[in-house]
Amino acid sequence: MNYLMAIDPGVSGGVAMAAFGKVASHAMPETEGDRLELIRSFKTAADIEGATCMCVLEEVNGFVGKAQPGSAMFKFGEGYGFLKGVVQALGIRLVLVRPQVWQKVFGLGTAARCASKSEWKNKLKAEAQRRFPNVGVTLQTADALLILEWARAAQASVRQSQTISAGDVCLQPGANNKTETAKEQNV
């Protein structure tokens, strides 16, 4: 049995978790201590069950679509680095995935084709609600839930193909996905 966690970093992001066929989601905890406790409790539950544990973290960079003050970008990067460090320090398998990669598989188009960021986020939320009708989907948790769904499909794809290249996970095995691969980091 696998325990799978997906994280959309940032203060308006969220965390989604799947284990034993059940899915749960949470808005991003406000403090670093609360984030640590959430991830640690997930890892502890997996350890108790003797299960493997994996975290898919949305890979971000210094540009989030519009100009931001340097202080805001620094704070965002600091939070991203904290999450990445916690996952690695706890010995959880870490997979980084760019937004363009996980978003593409849902066939919703791109944020650039929407009139506003709000329209795009609501489109993602509607898709998460469609895929997870029994989970209370919010704007904060929608991306994390869709990242979780991408990861579950990627895992199934890898199992079906029976091939896994070091560090690459893609939804279409055998496809030339040089720009559409996730990076895996093992500690």
Backbone angles phi, psi at 18, to 5 degrees: -135, 135
Return the pLDDT at 187.
Answer: 38
Mind listing the domains of the chain with CATH numbers?
A: 2-185 (3.30.420.10)
In the predicted structure, residue 62 carries a pLDDT above the cut 50: yes
One-letter amino acid of 107: G
Q: What are the residues whose beta carbons fall under 8 Å from the beta carbon of 51, sequence distance 6 or more?
A: 1, 2, 3, 19
For 124, the 3-state DSSP assignment is helix
Tokens representing 7 are: 């994280």
pTM of the model: 0.79
Q: For residue 169, what pLDDT is reported?
A: 41
Sheet strand arrangement including 2-8: 22-27, 14-19, 2-8, 52-58, 93-97, 182-185, 168-169
Nearest one of 183, 1, 3 to 94, comparing CA atoms:
183
Task: Give the model confidence (pLDDT) of 159-170 as tens digits.
Answer: 444 433 334 443
Using the predicted structure, report yes or no on whether residue 3 has a pLDDT greater than 50: yes
pLDDT for 126-160, tens place per residue? Answer: 999 999 999 999 999 999 999 999 998 887 655 44
